[in-house]
Amino acid sequence: MDKTYYITTPIYYPSAKPHMGHAYSSIVADFFARFKRIDGYKVHFLTGTDEHGLKIQRAAENKKIDPLKFCDEISQTFRDLSKTLNLTNTDFIRTTEQRHIKSVQNLWDKLKQNDEIYLSKYSGWYSVSDEAFYNEDELEEIAGKKIAISSGSTVEWVDEESFFFRLSKWEKPLLKFYEDNPDFICPESKRNEVISFVKNGLKDLSISRKSFSWGIKVPNNDDHVIYVWLDALTNYLSSLKYPDENNELYKNFWPADLHIIGKDILRFHAIYWPAFLLAAKIEPPKRVYGHGWILSGDEKMSKSKGNILDPLEIINIYGLDPLRYYLLKEVSFGNDGNISEEKLENCINSDLANNFGNLCQRVLSFAEKNCSSLIPDHKFTDDDLEILKPLNNLDKIRSFIDNQDINQYMSFIVDRLFSANKYFNDQEPWKKKDDRLRLNTIVYTALELIRKITILLYPVMPETSVKVLNVFNETENSIDFTSIDNNEILKKDLKINKLDILFKKIEK
Ligand code: MSP
């Protein structure tokens, strides 16, 4: 069977237009999906929109439109954004779709059959903005208002009949699960936070609401809608046609390899989700990675704070690939990161125009003038083999990906680019016109370096990388990560195609 990989983004609330934080989660997931694909995996990559709950119902009421119509419109902007971000998602799910509703109701039935659900009454605090219940000790009072400390959102008192999930019963099994699967929660700092939260004791979780109607109905009980997080989390299964566990999608891709999420929704993914699944006797996903926030100044970018940087505007000005490169390289994955136009411009000038762009332009124009735009012959010396060598270590590069060490992956690329530029300078091929074979070999080695590094850049900047690989007559579908292990892929006398300037330096 093919090697398979299942990766997901969070499904986004279509309560407002997408912003840079959403774009970030999606770009990160796309980076992993693309890498795995060029490494020979069959990838299922899921994104979508999370459309039920009081937050959406109220947003639609404010606009005086029917909630489904409201969601249709904004969900489409997220779908459009996936295209604009050049995501290679293989599915886009909406929680208002029948296939999803069916999965959620099935999961509910299974939990009910397993005696994991009971009817009682919920009295406590609820944040509509977070769609989360909070204990008294998770709140503070500011200007007479109760606020959730972790998110800063206001809470309201809820007092109503509700179905409960026996979460408390799963406290010990969850701790055992974390112990047996030490890589389930990443990064490690987040894992420790979750474990200490669980060790402090879990209370049963309210999983239905009675006082509003915008949600999936509890089976055989029209008065209740299912709690939006139980509904939303199940999207990861419904995309695989759960409960039909015998279909190819489910068989090939469950359990998911990686849920990419923001740290704000770690509790739902690292506690509730595996608890629901264990209770339903379904294997939990292999890993949940909680990344940091994209900050605007010192604050989280969010609609309620009104400090949103629109990804579309940035892409219009600078192009998509520079934005993808910036977010993957300059944000330390797992920590909060910052983006400003100034920082983005500096990154474009130093890394893209001066380093990568410069390497491609000077080597290719030298090859055009001195090798008639044909791949030359070669006879490697130790110097050449030495410079190519780090790129032959496939397992090292794979381990950056499998540990979600995006920053190491990126600095590996940057180092290779610097050393390739230095190699071309130090070897001074322009002084070797009397020694054709040496001149040719230097050009050949530099071309191989460009080919290999560009393959590594493909998951980061797909469009630019495909342009560069076209120079060597490679197309997007033929990109093969394992070919960077081979120093002699380029065949003598093959035509070297022209390349336009990749990145213009931004004058300041
Ligand atoms: N609908 C839920 C997720 C359900 S998943 C089963 C949700 N939606 S959301 O639209 O509010 O946010 C989704 C994700 O967007 C966050 O988890 C995070 O991954 C990303 N971001 C939203 N704002 C962000 C930043 N300012 N910075 C980085 N990412 C953030 O929560």
pLDDT tens per residue across span 298-315: 777 776 677 777 899 999
Beta strands per DSSP E along 67-184: 91-94, 117-127, 132-134, 139-142, 145-148, 156-165
Instruction: Give distance in angstroms: CA of 10 to centre of ligand 1.
Output: 6
Q: Measured in angstroms, how far is the CA atom of residue 261 from the centroid of ligand 1?
A: 7
Q: For residue 66, what pLDDT band results from cuts at 50, 70 and 90?
A: very high
Q: What is the pLDDT of residues 76-134, one digit of tens each?
A: 999 999 999 999 999 999 999 999 999 999 999 999 999 999 999 999 999 999 999 99
Query: Which two tokens mark 288?
Result: 């949940």
Q: Is residue 137 scored above 70 in pLDDT?
A: yes
Ligand 1: centre distance to CA 78 (Å): 13
Q: Which long-range contacts (CB under 8 A, 24 or more apart) does 246-255 make?
A: 249/44, 252/1, 252/2, 252/4, 252/42, 252/44, 253/4, 253/6, 253/44, 254/6, 254/282, 254/283, 255/6, 255/283, 255/284, 255/285, 255/286
Nearest to residue 296, comparing CAs of 310, 304, 308, 287? 308
For ligand 1, say whether the CB of 21 is within 6 Å of any of its atoms. Answer: yes
Q: Who contacts 489 (Cβ-Cβ below 8 Å, separation ≥6)?
A: 448, 451, 483
Question: Residue 264 in contact with residue 24, Cβ under 8 Å?
Answer: no
Closest ligand 1 atom number to CA of residue 10: 5
Averaged pLDDT, 317-345: 95
**For the residues 26-40, what does the mean pLDDT come to?**
98
Look at ligand 1, atom 29, and give the residue with the nearest C-alpha.
Answer: 21
| pLDDT score of 340 | 87
Ligand 1 mean position, distance from CA 79 (Å): 15
Q: What is the mean pLDDT of residues 60-88?
A: 96
Residue 199 exposure: Cα atoms within 13 Å on the Cβ side: 9
pLDDT exceeds 80 at position 297? no
165 lines ligand 1 (CB under 6 A): no
CA-closest residue to ligand 1 atom 7: 12
pTM: 0.96
Contact, 26 vs 81, CB < 8 A? yes
What pLDDT score was predicted for residue 1? Answer: 59
Protein residue with its CA nearest to atom 12 in ligand 1: 12
| Spatial contact of 38 and 479, defined as CB atoms under 8 Å apart | yes
CA 315 to chain centroid, in Å, comes to: 18
Q: Is 13 near ligand 1, meaning CB less than 6 Å away?
A: yes
Between 6-15, 119-128, 301-310, 417-426, the lowest mean confidence (pLDDT) is in: 301-310
